[in-house]
Amino acid sequence: MTGFEAQLTEALRAQAEGAAMSTSTPEQYETLSHRLDQVDDRRRRSRWAIGATAAAAAAVVVGIALLMGQGGPAGPPAVPPAASDAAAPELRITGHWSTLLTDGEVTGALSGTAAEPELTQVLADLADVSGPASAAGPWRLDLWMDGLTGNLYLADPDGRPARMDQFTYEVVDDELVTTTSIGQGSSDSARFGLSVDGDRMTLVWRAGSATGQGEVYEGIERALYAASVWERVS
């Protein structure tokens, strides 16, 4: 370490120490304790609500069975199974999302798993696309998920401020997000969907052959905006 670097370290430490000494840990802990109480309360309420919902659903099923007999009416249409795609092996298409798909579009998927169990960072690569090579890429971007505040950020692989926008969305109790949350968005010529399942996040997109990278970014933004109920599922 050079003399200047040592000087820099010393300056930063002095600065940090100044801030640290001016805060009150006991007072701050009181605040934190209150916040943790609220977390506990929300968890209790969520568990109760989920249990009540399950019980209500079971009662409805039993009631229908009693009315219609065992050979009763056909159930709701099955949810389309998760699709696979050679170019995007992690591609997941949900029933909700599949209604947006149209012919003549290229398809890609962005998927990633937590880099670490703490889920402080999720790195994901934009998979190659199927369809005309000139249409869409491959593009690569890094996306990381802030497990703290429910914010999502985009930047290019080199960390340049490709997008300085912030994607802030409501964070709900993790118990309310049981397995999968879906967000979706669209730009003029592209459509996107975001699926989060525990540590795994999948962004599904389809873009017209003339779609530019900027539009894809825009669509991703909208998709992330629409993913309004993401939180890590513990």
Nearer residue to other proteins within complex by CB, 153 or 225: 153
How far from 189 is each of 4, 139, 159, CA to CA, in Å?
53, 17, 27
For position 116 contacting other proteins by CB under 8 A, the verdict is yes
Alpha carbon distance 168, 174 (integer Å): 17
Nearer residue to other proteins within complex by CB, 128 or 173: 173
Q: For 181-202, b where at least 16 C-beta lie within 10 A, e where not — what string?
A: bbbbbbbebbbbbbbbeebbbb
One residue of 118, 134, 179, 188 binding other proteins per CB under 8 A: 118
Nearer residue to other proteins within complex by CB, 116 or 212: 116
SS (H, E, C) 122-189: ECCEECCCCCCHHHHCCCCCEEEEECCCCEEEEECCCCCCCCCCCEECCCCCHHHCCCCEEEEEECCC
For position 178 contacting other proteins by CB under 8 A, the verdict is no
One residue of 74, 78, 86, 164 binding other proteins per CB under 8 A: 164
In one letter, which amino acid is 136? A
Nearer residue to other proteins within complex by CB, 85 or 175: 175
Task: Tell me the closest approach of the beta carbon of residue 187 to other proteins, in angstroms.
Answer: 20
- The residue ranges that bind other proteins (CB under 8 A) are 4-5, 7-23, 25, 28-29, 31-33, 35-36, 39, 115-121, 123, 142, 144, 146-149, 151, 153, 155, 157-161, 164-166, 168, 174, 199, 232, 234
